[in-house]
Structures are given as C-alpha cells and as structure tokens.
Chains A and B, each alone.
Chain A
Amino acid sequence: MNRRSLLQSIVAIPAAAAVPDTPPPQPQLLQTNPETPTTPVIPPVETAKSLRRTFAPDQFYALTRLGEIMVPPYNGLPGAAEAGAAEFLDFYIGASPQPLPDLYRSGLDTLNHLSQSKFGQTFTNISLDQANILLAPIRDPASKDDLTPFLRTAKSDLLRATVNSHPYIEAVSQTRRPRNASKYFWYPIT
C-alpha cells in the first residue's frame, strides 16, 4: 500500500469503528495511593528579595533608617534591616487601603522635611542623636504632635514585620528559649 492509499483508508474508517473495545484509561487518583509523598516547597521570602513598588526612593530610605533605629539587632537576633522589614512594608502598605498608605507617605515626607530643615540632610543621612531629636514625640506618652500617629504605627509595624520574619524566627529557634512560631492556619472552608 502506497502512502496515498494508506491515508485514504484511514480517512475512510468510521469514527465509531476507531474506538477501541477496552475502556479508556482512568486518571490516576493520587489520594488512592497512601504513599504519595507531599512535595516540599519553600516560601519566596527564603530565596528572594522583594521588589520595591510603593514608596519613592527618599521615602523608602527613610523607612529603612527608621527601622534600623527603632528595631536594631539585639542579643544576637536580627533587626528590621536584616529582617527586610522596610521591603515588606513597602509591599504591604502598597497593598493596603487608605488611610494607611497616606499615613506612611506623609509621615516619611515629614521626617525628611524636618531633617532637611533642622540638619540640612535627609532622614537617612543624619546621626542617631539627630534622629532621636526628631523622634521625640514617640517618647512622650501624651504627645499631640502631628507626627505621633505615624511614628506609633511605624514602630508597631516595623517590630511585627521583624519578629514575624524568616531570619528572626530562624535565629530565635537557635536560642535557649525557642519561640513556638507556628499556629494553626485555616484553609478556605467550602
């Protein structure tokens, strides 16, 4: 049979006749095999650096500096810088509804503005002593300063972003009093 004849014969076969008698193969159901292993995966924060999307460069550098001052490394545990707290907050604040993004942007702009007007440099480049002068409102429990709400929010967020980070939890797990950092996560229930 030449090639042309072969093709003609195939086309001529009725569709029903082409169906084999044996039933089609069933899909492999993983759950029927109790030995199927769960494939281990890791979260992206263990391997990669978050891209900056939300804050302008001066704002981001001010937030980074604020993290270094408010949450420094302590007793061998990483601080905000090592924990990538500013990078995380750049992502998280950017994804949050108002008024949080505006609170952060205006707060960071105010810090830079105050720093420029008092010390001639952005907040990123001033000394710790100079920064402490600008951060005085947070040391006053009764402060009514306009900057206080931002500073209190940033302090809380930077601390949380640090102690919930991968580097911090890994470091704590090496200490004599390891913190139990695991809790039950609830999946969508339908």
Chain B
Amino acid sequence: MTQRTYDVLIIGSGASGATAARQLTRKGIHCLMLDAGPGLDYSRHRELKKVYTLPYRGFGTPGRFPHVTQADEYTENVWADEKQNPYTYPKDDPYYWVRIRLIGGKTNFWGRASWRLSNYEFKGKDHDGFGENWPIEYDDLAPYYDQVEPMLRVAGRREGFPQLPDGIFIEDTSPDSEPVQRFINAAQKRGVPTTKSRVATGQRASSVNRILPDALETGKLQIVSNAVVRQITTDRNTGLANGVLFIDTRSKQEFHVKARIVIVGASTLESTRLLLNSGLANSSGVLGHYLFDQFYVKNVVSCIVPGARGSGGGYIPRFRNLAKKEKDFIRGYAMDFGGGGSPSPEHLPLYGEDLFKKMEELQGTGFSLTTMGEVLPRRENFVAINKSVTDAWGIPALHITAKYSQNEFAMAKDSMNTAAEICHDAGFQILEKHWQMVPPGESIHELGTCRMGADPKTSVLNKWNQTHDIKNLFVVDGSSFVSGGSQNPTLTVCALSMRASDYIAAQMQKGDL
C-alpha cells in the first residue's frame, strides 16, 4: 500500500486545530486532523437523569477527579482520566491540569467568554518593563479577530475601551436589572469601568458546531479520532518535520502518517509535551518555560441586595496600571459580576429552620463577583518531561512546576477590596469576602511554554507561530502566548491560528513550504 503524504497534518481538533483546518481547507489545502479523543454522539452519549438515580447522589465518584473541580457526577465521564493521563508536580505546589479528550476538545464545554487582547498585553514590556513584548501588535491580529467573532457569533456591547478593543459583535442591548444598575453606578463613581459580557452564542458555540463543519464541507478535511500522537518525526537529511507517530487509543496499534507541514494545536501543555517528547524546536532552551494562566478568586465578594431582585450581570475590564502606575503590583485583573441567584447556604451562618427561612427571604437577592487576574510569565514556572511516569500508551508524562508570585497575591487582595468597596457603595450587604486564589491551572487558561518571539534565542516560535528551528512545524494554540492579560484566551487562540494558517497557505502557494 502506498502511503499518502498529506499537505497539512493538524494535531488537535479544539479551538486552534479546528480554526486552522477551517482556514486551510477553505483555501483548497488537504488536511488530516488527528485527535486523541473520540467523537461525541449527543443522542447516544447523554441522557436526562434525576440526581438520586446517580450512584453517588450527585456528589461524584469519590476521589476520581482530585484536580478537576469542574467535574460533577453528571459530567465526570467527559474529563480526561488522571489515571490514564497522569502528570506530576512538586509535593507542596499542586497544579490543576484540567483536560477533555474529545473531538472539539474543551470547546465542547467552555464558558464562551470572548475578549480581545490589546497592546497593553502585546506590548506589555514597553508599558511596564516586565517580561517580553509579543512579536506582533494588536493591528496584526485585529483583522483575524474580525473574522473569529462572526465565526463564533460573539455577542457584546461596544464601549471604546483601549484595554478591551471592540469587535464585530451581535449587539447586546438587553437592559440591566436594578441590582446590576446599582452596582454599575457605584463602580462608575469609583472610576471602575463595566460592560456587558462578551460571549460566543448559538447552540453552545464550539469547534464541532461552529468551526469544523465549514472545514468538512470543503471535502478537504479528514479526521482520525482516538489517535494519541507520540512523536513528531523528521527527515534525517533535511531536518524538516515529515509526519507523526500515533497510537490508536483503543487497540494500542501504532501508525506513522506523512505530511508536508505539521501544525500542533493539541492544547497548551499537550503541545509542549509532544515537542519535548519529540526532542524538537528547543534550540533556545525556552521550550516548557514561561508557563502562566489567569488566577481566579471565585466569589471574591458575596452579597445580598436589600430591597431588589434581578438577574443578569456584566464584566469589569482591567482598570489598574493603564494610564499610570497606581498600585503595588503591575498589570491588572478583571471581574465578572452577577446577581439574581440566592446566596449559598454556606455563606449564611445558620442551620435548621433559621437557615431555610433566611434562604426564602433572600431568594433572588444574591450578588457576587469573581476575579480573573493576570499571572506574570516567569521562567521558573515550567513544564518538563518526567520519564519515570508514563500514560496509558507509554508516553512520558509532564512534571508541572507553577507558583503564584507576590504580584498575583497583591492583585487578588486589591480585587477583593475594590469589589467590597463598590458593593458597599451600592448598598449591598456583604456576606463574605476573601482573596483565596484557585490553584494554578484551575482556571483552565494555561498559556505559554512555547512562546512566540522575534529572537530565536529567547523564544520557540516566530511571529507566524512557526518554530524557529523547523520551518514546516507550527504551534497554534495557547502555548504560543507571550503574556495573557486577564482576558479569557480562546478568541485570541483562534485569531492566532487563523493568522498562522493564512501565512502557511501563502507560503505553500509561493512554494516556500
């Protein structure tokens, strides 16, 4: 049998891989996509069930997911099994690596928040001297944001914030409830901006229903499921990538597939793990380093709103350290806010009938905020291969070292104080406030470790997401980020992948790839 050589091989079918496939196939380029997970069949894989019919009454299988706080007993079969897919971390610094192995990846279950980065991120070093600038600026990516937002049907409201550029939105004209309006007014008096949330809409916008169908429609995309890639292979004469070795997860049969160009979009840490295990693209020694994400402080302030009930919410974009340095930390944080729920019983120091009566009285008066803060990219936060631990397919696992720094601690504390002040000004009754950040990784916004840069000595990728070392090897997911701001990263992941794909197509047309 003659083995076919594909134009482009794409590893991963989530936000980045699917966007690459869509962009390339629409330009007539044949792509093969490999994904480690199976495909979802919504009619076969899910069923409405009452909670008491579940084996653990909704509490979840004990101890099954120590690091996936998002898993509950209804969804626990969806998350990547930590026994099949192990990883390690220093004993006292747990990292919560949250993964989904399915066609469509994490976009099957993402929160859909869709924000653009600005030059406060792309040119962060110019602004405050820390870290590195990206090798691109906002104007380089803006045309791609303009395409990704309609692709995902992002709804939002135009505001003109320089730190949160506007986009091609489905205009959100929904009115604010009284509690939300009171909060917004109080925030404005303190100079804290607010806006509507910007979210991808439609029937749970995801790779499988908003991105991959366009690619499949061209007839130029083939997808192999249950394919775990072990290694990217190279031509011993040219040093160029020439394909990958992959394993069928069910049979453990191994295969080699050939391609002219390899695009890695397996999600931030899986992509870097693959490059490390392949021994490629690390002439800089930077591969695996500069791991960061966004820290969350869930329910940083929880309140009740006396005399008003109403749902809805919004978003506070970064407002610290913009026009001037104003705090004992650099960069900034954003906050989600929302009302309409009932305060959690955990926030009421009551039990028995007293608790039930209070909950009835307070029904619909809850209001809370969650902080999402920038984690600084630092070399000492990194991933490396742990050769003593392998996954179910014999592939060495990652060891993940990540700690927050004083900058993040100071930011979290400031967010609590700011949120509490606004809530107080709005006349809300504060039930609880804290600044306990979730462990690194739990926000599922892991970024970096394969960063872009102009200098091959300090970065893995160039400004086209192309590895400095191997010109036909590209990495298009969140691992390419240089910094992350406080904005949810998926929109930028898609825009970067789309831009890189346009570059690949142009280079192929010129015969340079």
B46→A96 contact, CB < 8 A: no
Contacts of A45 in B (CB 8 A): 52, 57
Contacts between the two chains (Cβ within 8 Å), count: 106
> Which partner residue on chain A sits nearest B101 by CB separation?
A189
Contacts of A187 in B (CB 8 A): 44-47, 77
Chain A interface mostly helix, strand, loop or mixed? mixed
> Which partner residue on chain B sits nearest A75 by CB separation?
B356
Chain B interface residue count, Cβ-Cβ cutoff 8 angstroms: 40
Alpha-carbon separation in the docked complex, A96 to B57 (Å): 14
Alpha-carbon separation in the docked complex, A135 to B352 (Å): 11
List the one stretch of A103-111, A118-126, A159-167 in contact with chain B: A159-167
Contacts of A156 in B (CB 8 A): 345-346
Contacts of A165 in B (CB 8 A): 52, 57
B406 CB to nearest chain A CB (Å): 26
Q: Is B250 an interface residue when CB atoms closer than 8 A count as contact?
A: yes
Q: Is A35 an interface residue when CB atoms closer than 8 A count as contact?
A: no
Q: Is B236 an interface residue when CB atoms closer than 8 A count as contact?
A: no
Chain A interface residue count, Cβ-Cβ cutoff 8 angstroms: 39
Q: Is B53 an interface residue when CB atoms closer than 8 A count as contact?
A: yes
Alpha-carbon separation in the docked complex, A141 to B350 (Å): 9
> Which partner residue on chain A sits nearest B72 by CB separation?
A183
Contacts of B54 in A (CB 8 A): 185
B51→A164 contact, CB < 8 A: yes
Q: Is B364 an interface residue when CB atoms closer than 8 A count as contact?
A: no
**Contact A141/B351 with A96-B62, A165-B52 known, Cβ cut-off 8 Å:** no
List the one stretch of A3-11, A21-29, A66-74 in contact with chain B: A66-74
B447 CB to nearest chain A CB (Å): 27
B residues contacting A by CB (< 8 A) are 37-38, 40, 44-54, 56-59, 62-63, 66, 73-78, 102, 226, 250, 345-346, 349-353, 355-356, 432
Alpha-carbon separation in the docked complex, A186 to B44 (Å): 9
Q: Which of A43, A70, A157, A189 contacts B351 (CB 8 A)?
A: A70
Q: What are 15 sample pairs from A and B whose C-beta atoms fall under 8 A apart?
A: A71-B351, A92-B57, A138-B349, A141-B349, A152-B346, A160-B58, A164-B51, A169-B50, A184-B49, A185-B73, A186-B74, A186-B76, A187-B46, A189-B37, A189-B40
Q: Is A95 an interface residue when CB atoms closer than 8 A count as contact?
A: yes
Alpha-carbon separation in the docked complex, A27 to B54 (Å): 32
A22 CB to nearest chain B CB (Å): 35
Alpha-carbon separation in the docked complex, A185 to B346 (Å): 26
Render A57-94 as a binary contact track against B, CB cut-off 8 A, 1 for contact: 00000000000011110110000000000001000100
Contacts of B53 in A (CB 8 A): 43
Contacts of B50 in A (CB 8 A): 169, 181-182
B49→A182 contact, CB < 8 A: yes
Contacts of B40 in A (CB 8 A): 189
- Contact residues of A between 147 and 190, Cβ < 8 Å to B: 152, 155-157, 159-161, 164-166, 169, 181-190
B236 CB to nearest chain A CB (Å): 37
> Which partner residue on chain B sits nearest A183 by CB separation?
B74
Q: Which of A95, A141, A155, A182 contacts B345 (CB 8 A)?
A: A155
